[in-house]
Every structure is written in structure tokens, then in C-alpha cells.
Amino acid sequence: MSAAKNINISLQIWRQKNSKEKGKMETYKLNDVSTASSFLEMLDQLNEQLVNERKEPIAFDHDCREGICGMCSLYINGRAHGPDTGITTCQLHMRMFNDGDTIVIEPWRSAAFPVIKDLIVDRTSFDRIQQAGGFVSVNTSGNTIDANATPINKSDADKAFEAAACIGCGACVATCKNGSAMLFVGAKVSQYALLPQGRIEATDRVLNMVRQMDEEGFGNCTNTGACEIECPKGISLENIARMNREYLSASLK
């Protein structure tokens, strides 16, 4: 363990007043940042400094700060969620940086994720994809069949869980050189495709979700694999292949 120390850093951050106005990179100096701080706590510190200087604080998305809600984003030094793998930005710590570093922070860049303000983007396109088919059509009822009435092969259940672990943060889109959402959609399609409850609507689901994905303006997958590396939850590329299979067989039906 390296003991926490304080470092001074320089930050280049994308500032944009709202979705209509143009934005630009601006530079800030921030001193005495504890290396034990999380990256977002560093931004809190910068904002505190800006507010005290009567300047406008930087808007960025965040909520749970424990890597599960998927709200935080940020493209840090050229990488989604910064220079570490298997984590979200809120789990990134300042000990990954050195005294005197310049850190570049940008919002997710995608036609389907327009900037709302500064580092905040609109990810409702993900919601709309989900609304197009990311569900099992079962109404609330106290009279569905018993949970153990349909056994599910453990390995399928485990794979479905791994796919369902997606937090919908959008790092896959942000990091993909094509701005493709295939990992996100593939994970959702896979979760349901692997479970008997989801099989019934599998054909319509994959067609509808892919149609919606295309309408939202995401790019196409060229299998560079960057999404899998940057995904905070390690969602596998296998899910994209599975979706491709599902899509091909659904198209032929």
C-alpha cells in the first residue's frame, strides 16, 4: 500500500452551456488532491473551488458512487471511465495519477448521446431500446406459476446473469470507434434468450430492439472488442455473437 499523499494536477475539461450552444475545452488547476480520493471526489473538490471563486461548477452525472447505478460516465485521458479496467468512474481513484499530470475529461461522444451540459449526456436512447422489447410480457399477478416450476440449467442461468449485470452506463458506445451499442443490446437480448421465460418473445424482441437501436443513430459493430475491455462489468462479446445468431434466425422466420 502506498500511503495517501496530496498531488497538484491540471485539468482540461469540456464545457458546454447547453445542448444548443457550442462547447470548448477549458483548463483548470487543482491543488492538494488526496490520492485516496475517488475521481468524482476530485471533481467535487474542483467544483467547491469554482463555486468559491464565483465561477460556474462543472456539471457531471453521478449517483450511487459504488459502481452499480451506471449514472457516472466521463471520457478520461482518452478512455471510457479512465485508465483502469473493470470499474466505473466513481470507482477510479486519484492514486492512478501523478503529481503534475494533466487530465483530459470529455463527455461520452455519440450521435445517440447528445450533450445536455458540460459532461452530462442524454442516454435515453438506451431506455427506448429497452422499451422496444427488453422485457417479458408478463403482467403483475399473484398467480403466476411457482418460481421453481420451470427448472433452468445452472449454466444458462449464470450466463443470463452475467449478461444482465450490464449497468447501462454507455461506456461501450463511448469507447467504440463506431459508436455502436451492440454490447448493450446484445447483453439484454442474451439475458432473455437464455431463459425459458424469454424464449417466447425472442423473435420479436431481437428484431424490435435492433430496429430501435438503428433508429437511434448508433454505429455498426466491427468487432474491435474495445467495448468488452472497457465495460465496467466485463460483459462478454459472446453476447454480441448470440444476438447476431438470434437476429439472423429471427430474420429468416
Partner 1 sequence: MALSGLFLIMFLSLHFFINMVSVFSADSFNAMSHFMGYNPLIQFVMQPVLIAGVVFHFVMGFVLELKNRSARPVAYVKYDGAANASWASRNMIISGVVVLAFLGLHMYDFWVQEIAYKYCLANPIDETRYYGELVHKFESPVRTGLYSVAFVLLGLHLWHGFTSSLQSVGFDNKIGKSLHKICYAFAVIVPFGFIFIALFHHFINN
Partner 2 sequence: MKLDSKIPEGHISQKWTDYKDHLRLVAPNNRPKIDIIVVGTGLAGASAAASFAEMGYNVKAFCYQDSPRRAHSIAAQGGINAAKNYQNDGDSTFRLFYDTIKGGDYRAREANVHRLAEVSGNIIDQCVAQGVPFARDYGGMLDNRSFGGTQVQRTFYAAGQTGQQLLLGAYSALSRQIGLGRVDMYNRHEMLELVKVDGKARGIIARNLITGELERHSAHAVIIATGGYGNVYFLSTNAMGSNVTAGWKIHKQGALFANPCYVQIHPTCIPVHGTNQSKLTLMSESLRNSGRIWVPKKKEDSEAIRAGKLKPTQIPEEDRDYYLERKYPAFGNLVPRDVASRAGKEVCDEGRGIEANDTNEGVYLDFSTEIQNKGKQTAYAKGNHNPSQEEILTLGKKWLEEKYGNLFTMYQKITDENPYETPMKIYPAVHYTMGGVWVDYNLQSTIPGCFVAGEANFSDHGANRLGASALMQGLADGYFVLPYTVSNYLADDIRTGKISTDLPEFVAAENNVKDQINKFLSNNGSKTVDHFHKRLGHIMWNKVGMGRNEKGLTEAISEIAALKEEFYKDVYVPGSSDELNPELEKALRVADFIELGQLMAMDALQRKESCGGHFREEYQDSEGETLRDDENFSFVGAWENKGYDVTKSELHKEELKYEFIKIAARNYK
222 interacts with, out of partner 1, partner 2, none, CB within 5 to 8 A per kind: partner 1
Residue 108 CB, shortest distance to partner 1, in Å, is 10
- Residue in 20, 22, 24, 141 binding partner 2, rule: CB under 8 A: 141
- Residue in 7, 80, 82, 117 binding partner 2, rule: CB under 8 A: 117
Positions of E strands within the chain: 6-15, 24-34, 75-76, 79-80, 102-106, 115-117, 120-121
- Residue in 132, 182, 226, 227 binding partner 2, rule: CB under 8 A: 132
Residue with cell 454507455: 170
Question: 24 with 84: CB under 8 angstroms?
Answer: no
Query: What is the spatial distance between Cα 223 and Cα 214, in angstroms, rounded to a whole number?
Result: 17
- Residue in 9, 14, 91, 227 binding partner 2, rule: CB under 8 A: 91
Query: What is the spatial distance between Cα 36 and Cα 218, in angstroms, rounded to a whole number?
Result: 37
Residue ranges in 180-209 that form contacts with partner 1 under rule CB under 8 A: 180
Residue ranges in 166-185 that form contacts with partner 2 under rule CB under 8 A: 167-168
Q: What is the DSSP letter of 38?
A: B
Stretch that binds partner 2, among 38-46, 98-106, 215-223, 242-250 (CB under 8 A): 38-46
Q: Is 232 in the site for partner 1 (CB under 8 A)?
A: no
Residue 250 CB, shortest distance to partner 1, in Å, is 11
Cell digits of residue 123: 442516454
Cross-strand partners of 104: 12
Nearer to partner 1 by Cβ, of 19 and 144: the residue is: 19
Residue 180 CB, shortest distance to partner 1, in Å, is 7
Q: Please enumerate in sequence order all residues whose Cβ is within 8 A of that of 163, keeping only pairs 6 or more positions apart, or say none.
A: 186, 187, 188, 190, 191, 194, 235, 239
75 interacts with, out of partner 2, partner 1, none, CB within 5 to 8 A per kind: partner 1
Residue type, 112: A
Query: How many CB atoms sit inside 10 A of residue 182's CB?
Result: 27
- Residue in 28, 101, 104, 164 binding partner 2, rule: CB under 8 A: 164
Q: What is the CA radius of gyration of the chain?
A: 20
Q: Site residues (CB under 8 A) for partner 1?
A: 12, 14, 25, 75, 77-79, 83, 104, 106, 109-112, 115, 175, 177-180, 217-226, 229-230, 237-238, 240-248
